[in-house]
Amino acid sequence: MDIQALCSKLGIDGASFATGDLQVHSPIDGSRIASLYSSTQAEAERAIERAERAFFELRNWPAPKRGELVRLFGQELRQHKQALGELVTIECGKIRQEGLGEVQEMIDLCDFAVGLSRQLYGLTIASERPDHRMMEQWHPLGSVAVISAFNFPVAVWAWNFALAIVCGDPVIWKPSERTPVTALACHALFQRAIASANAPEHLSQVLIGGASLGAQLAADPRIALISATGSTRMGRALAPVVAARFGRALLELGGNNAMIVTKSADLALAVRAIVFSAVGTAGQRCTSLRRLFVHDAVRAELLSRLAGAYASLPIGSPLDASTLVGPLIDAHAFAAMQAALRTAAADGGTLECGGERVLAGARPEAFYVTPALVSMPQQTELVRSETFAPILYVLGYHELEAAIALQNGVEQGLSSSIFTTDMREAELFVSARGSDCGIANVNIGPSGAEIGGAFGGEKATGGGRESGSDAWRSYMRRATNTFNYSSQLPLAQGITFGE
Ligand code: NAD
């Protein structure tokens, strides 16, 4: 792992990351990859001031010109995809394919945002008054703060960033304290685009540090929108602070995602989707599959196929091309997984396979585990909570309506899916009586969304939507304009006033 060489390819001076107070470790082997200086409260204050000035400039740029800036950024990402993808792998431990996938997602989002920069449409609305016209305009909103989680260290920021820039909003980014180096690399690549486009300074700023910096951004009324990704616990602390100042919050919080496998399902397809969704990123995706509801008629068969697939999973360094399961982020994640497995056993669960630490001899400072498959007699409190590790709870069901009720019977509402070849079952699942999640898939697992759709979840997942569709509206303010081109002044609702 030659961090220095990677950093210099990406335009950051890795040698300067040696003396700071914030230690960054690679989950691959626990080695320290950087010591960064945390940003102070005063530095955050200056960043907010600079973003405000940048906003006053950027809002005057026509949106397609802002799109051109994002196009240039997308080019930088294309050129540096390998290096940035590798840095993602080293810093957060996801396998190479997933690290590269994150960067590809950024590129895709840039392309999407460039097109969008010419489509920030408002409506024209029929007026009830003669010779009047109504229309909506979407204007830049102001400074945006992005608070991000460790498990998608770059893509989630890019979802927000590319849209915010085309919408005319500068961005202050507070990345996870566990993955700040990738944030500095993204920022450096964007600075190249800024130079090529001769764009205003400070459209992107990065603040390094933890929760207190995030809390400072949340409380500051000059931040028009806080887009925060992380645990539901974090959202519970942050949301009231933003609401108290009538700021806008876009929350992408915890998930507890489920799949229903019906008796008509294509089991071979279901097994592939389950394994990818449950063990990908070592179960550390917001959309990871955590609960599996299987029709009693196919439960034994599916469990046996899954146990077979789990037994042959290559676990090891995410830098090795053959690895499918990399490490957990740190010792806390491992401890949380072990605690969950103990509780599952106490609740009457049966560990079908996995759950052990491996490679501890070769990598004592890293936490590799075999993904766990646990049969549960019922949906206990443990099953209803998110443990950020590769544990899949399997429960049987008889009636589809009951399985849907169980699936919806958790506080989170991010992602869900059904495997079925029965059209009635599929339609019920995606109907208003079906899944209550922001994402409801048919014959596809709950994780691995495309950028074209709006991404996000309901209930304790926070209700935010990012990425595709009309998610851009969160980054703009709507103004309704009514024009009178008559020589009268008729009032709405036919009201007469002193005439
Ligand atoms: P975390 O909540 O520990 O931290 C997330 C970010 O919030 C970090 O940058 C952290 O410094 C900051 N933060 C923490 N407390 C804060 C506070 N009170 N005020 C302001 N900022 C604060 O989450 P994590 O462990 O990095 O990530 C895992 C969690 O994120 C999981 O729950 C996962 O489901 C969730 N997640 C959700 C999505 C989504 O799109 N819904 C995507 C990725 C991760």
Same domain, 115 and 245: yes
> How confident is the model over 290-338, as pLDDT tens digits?
999 999 999 999 999 999 999 999 999 999 999 999 999 999 999 999 9
* Distance from residue 352's CA to the centre of ligand 1 (Å): 30
Same domain, 10 and 56: yes
* Any domain includes 454: no
Q: What percent of the chain has pLDDT over 70?
A: 100
Q: Which atom of ligand 1 is nearest to the CA of 147?
A: 9
Binding site membership of 414 for ligand 1 (Cβ less than 6 Å): yes
Say whether 110 is catalytic.
Answer: no
Q: Which of 223, 234, 385 to mutate to test the pocket of ligand 1 (most atoms within 8 A of CB)?
A: 234
Q: Whose CA is nearest to atom 21 of ligand 1?
A: 214
Binding site membership of 219 for ligand 1 (Cβ less than 6 Å): no
Q: Considering the entire predicted model, what is its pTM?
A: 0.97
Residue 466 predicted with pLDDT over 80: yes
> How confident is the model over 257-287, as pLDDT tens digits?
999 999 999 999 999 999 999 999 999 999 9
Total tally of structural domains belonging to the chain: 2
* Distance from residue 476's CA to the centre of ligand 1 (Å): 24
The alpha carbon of 215 is separated from its chain's Cα centroid by a whole number of angstroms, namely 19
CATH number of the domain enclosing 474: 3.40.605.10
Q: Which atom of ligand 1 is nearest to the CA of 251?
A: 41
Same domain, 289 and 239: no
Same domain, 331 and 188: no
Q: Which atom of ligand 1 is nearest to the CA of 462?
A: 41
Q: Which domain holds residue 427?
A: 257-442
Say whether 252 is catalytic.
Answer: yes
Same domain, 64 and 117: yes
CATH number of the domain enclosing 325: 3.40.309.10
Same domain, 228 and 267: no
> How confident is the model over 39-67, as pLDDT tens digits?
999 999 999 999 999 999 999 999 999 99
Same domain, 69 and 176: yes
Same domain, 435 and 467: no
* Distance from residue 166's CA to the centre of ligand 1 (Å): 25
Same domain, 184 and 296: no
Same domain, 379 and 232: no
Of 91, 252, 425, 466, catalytic = 252
* Any domain includes 498: no
Q: Which atom of ligand 1 is nearest to the CA of 176?
A: 9
